[in-house]
């Protein structure tokens, strides 16, 4: 593990977490069971639905009349993260929140996770402590119990597999396939920040590789760094829906980019939609970084991904309930399927068919 290129002190998020330790204990000193004990001995179960956590052949859960939702994600080193600039605590935190985001996208409440990791035998016990400190911080903030997992070695890089389990009353569940013609297309928060944070980290990493003495230039970009390194899941949104007395007709979380997610909703709901470029919300840091790197922030929103905001549709009759709500933007509306899935450009109002990946308006 290489953490010499250290972004962690430059982002606000870091102040929430403690400093890394510098001692090094070999994994082989503890062995598998010793390691599991060390990583799990401080767990205090929080949820009534968790009857038995780590320590038997299985965890035992009880959901009574609730429906149970399950989702799983796999993060691999070199593909999903670069340990050159991703602190392990942030990585642990993110590995959990990206899964919880899928649970909220069902309008459900996450309750348990399992975490399996494969690590190089060269990784130190203290490095794993760091990773797990992020995992447990996420568990605390989101009220979930870590109830199981597996710990093994890999011949090469780090790999993290998280499964999240949540619950919901049947009538609250929201699927991808319920969007109807004339529904409002809505999104929470702002978009493109995680992608611009990644571009910044990649740029500074390239500079660092050429000259390790250069001080990384992160000042003023704490928000987009946090969006990339330590994203939050929108646990407030299912509660907000209850409060506002609304239930989306369809919903999905934004992990692969707005284009891809809109296409999922439209395909599964058998509808089309019109997405308005000028309704998309960007943070100032996203705009500033985009300008600096000569990237259109629209590309970051459509294809960048990892924003972990929620995209959903609402009956047009609910418009008044969300109008001017600071957490929700109406970015378009649903049409019949034969009208296609289109981006309506700002200014001229041209309709351009949305594509799932790699679509670049600068190259049209």
Which residues bind to its own copies, rule: CB under 8 A?
Answer: 31, 33, 51-52, 55-65, 67-80, 102-103, 105-106, 108, 112, 114, 116-118, 147-150, 152-157, 159, 161, 163, 165-166, 170, 173, 175-177, 251-253, 268, 356-357
Query: Which residue, 134 or 166, has its beta carbon nearer to its own copies?
Result: 166
Nearest approach in angstroms of CB 16 to its own copies is 27
Nearest approach in angstroms of CB 254 to its own copies is 11
Query: Which residue, 14 or 232, has its beta carbon nearer to its own copies?
Result: 232
Q: How many CB atoms lie within 10 A of CB 96?
A: 27
Nearest approach in angstroms of CB 292 to its own copies is 30
Query: Which residue, 330 or 356, has its beta carbon nearer to its own copies?
Result: 356
Residue whose tokens read 């691999």: 76
Q: From CA 306, how far away is CA 309, in angstroms rounded?
A: 8
Nearest approach in angstroms of CB 62 to its own copies is 5
Cβ–Cβ under 8 Å, residues 111 and 50: yes
In a 10 Å sphere around its CB, with 0-12 CB exposed, 13-18 middle and 19+ buried, how is residue 210 labelled?
Answer: exposed
| Chain mean position to CA 347 | 32
Query: Which residue, 3 or 76, has its beta carbon nearer to its own copies?
Result: 76
Nearest approach in angstroms of CB 209 to its own copies is 18
Q: How many CB atoms lie within 10 A of CB 34?
A: 13
Report the candidate in 204, 333, 237, 226 with the shortest Cα–Cα distance to residue 283. 226
Query: Which residue, 155 or 362, has its beta carbon nearer to its own copies?
Result: 155
Nearest approach in angstroms of CB 194 to its own copies is 18
Query: Which residue, 175 or 218, has its beta carbon nearer to its own copies?
Result: 175
Residue 119 has which token pair? 């690590």
User: Which residues are paired to 109 by β-bridges?
Assistant: 167
Query: Which residue, 260 or 286, has its beta carbon nearer to its own copies?
Result: 260
Q: From CA 53, how far away is CA 40, in angstroms rounded?
A: 10
DSSP state of 347: T
Query: Which residue, 40 or 285, has its beta carbon nearer to its own copies?
Result: 40
Residues in the chain: 364
Nearest approach in angstroms of CB 66 to its own copies is 9
Nearest approach in angstroms of CB 346 to its own copies is 29
Indicate the angle between helix axes 284-292 and 222-229, nearest 10 degrees. 90
Query: Which residue, 174 or 229, has its beta carbon nearer to its own copies?
Result: 174
Longest dimension (CA), the chain: 66
Residue 141 has which token pair? 């903030």
Phi-psi region of 298 (alpha: psi -120 to 50; beta: other; left: phi over 0): alpha
Nearest approach in angstroms of CB 91 to its own copies is 15
Provide φ and ψ at 168, rounded to 5°.
-160, 155
Query: Which residue, 68 or 316, has its beta carbon nearer to its own copies?
Result: 68
Sheet holding 271-276, edge to edge: 250-253, 310-314, 184-188, 328-336, 271-276, 341-344, 351-353
Using DSSP bridges, classify how beta strands 271-276 and 341-344 pair: parallel, antiparallel or unpaired: parallel
Q: How many CB atoms lie within 10 A of CB 28?
A: 12
Nearest approach in angstroms of CB 157 to its own copies is 6
């Amino acid at each position: 593990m290489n953490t010499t290129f250290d972004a962690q002190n430059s982002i606000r998020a870091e102040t929430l977490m403690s400093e890394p330790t510098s001692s090094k204990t070999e994994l082989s000193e503890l062995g598998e069971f010793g390691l599991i004990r060390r990583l799990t001995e401080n767990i205090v179960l929080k949820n009534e639905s968790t009857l038995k956590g780590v320590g038997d052949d299985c965890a035992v859960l009880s959901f009574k009349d609730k429906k149970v939702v399950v989702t799983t994600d796999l993060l691999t080193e070199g593909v999903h993260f670069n340990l050159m600039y991703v602190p392990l605590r942030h990585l642990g935190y993110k590995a959990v929140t990206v899964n919880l985001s899928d649970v909220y996208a069902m309008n459900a409440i996450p309750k348990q996770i399992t975490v399996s990791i494969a690590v190089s035998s060269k990784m130190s016990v203290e490095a794993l402590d760091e990773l797990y400190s992020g995992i447990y911080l996420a568990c605390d903030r989101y009220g979930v119990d870590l109830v199981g997992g597996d710990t093994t070695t890999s011949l090469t890089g780090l790999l993290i597999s998280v499964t999240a389990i949540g619950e919901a009353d049947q009538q609250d569940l929201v699927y991808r396939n319920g969007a109807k013609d004339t529904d409002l297309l809505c999104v929470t928060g702002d978009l493109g920040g995680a992608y611009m944070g990644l571009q910044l980290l990649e740029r500074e990493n390239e500079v660092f590789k050429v000259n390790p003495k250069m001080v990384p230039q992160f000042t003023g970009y704490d928000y987009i760094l946090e969006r990339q390194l330590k994203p939050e899941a929108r646990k407030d949104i299912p509660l907000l829906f209850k409060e506002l007395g609304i239930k989306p007709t369809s919903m999905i979380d934004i992990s692969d980019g707005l284009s891809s997610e809109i296409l999922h909703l439209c395909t599964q709901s058998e509808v089309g939609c019109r997405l308005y470029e000028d309704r998309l919300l960007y943070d100032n840091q996203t705009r500033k970084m985009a300008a600096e790197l000569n990237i259109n922030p629209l590309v970051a929103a459509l294809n960048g991904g990892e924003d972990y905001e929620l995209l959903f549709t609402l009956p047009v009759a609910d418009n008044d309930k969300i109008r001017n709500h600071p957490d929700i933007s109406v970015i378009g509306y649903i049409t019949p399927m034969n009208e296609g899935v289109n981006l309506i450009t700002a200014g001229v109002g041209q309709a351009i068919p949305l594509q799932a990946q790699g679509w670049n308006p600068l190259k049209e």
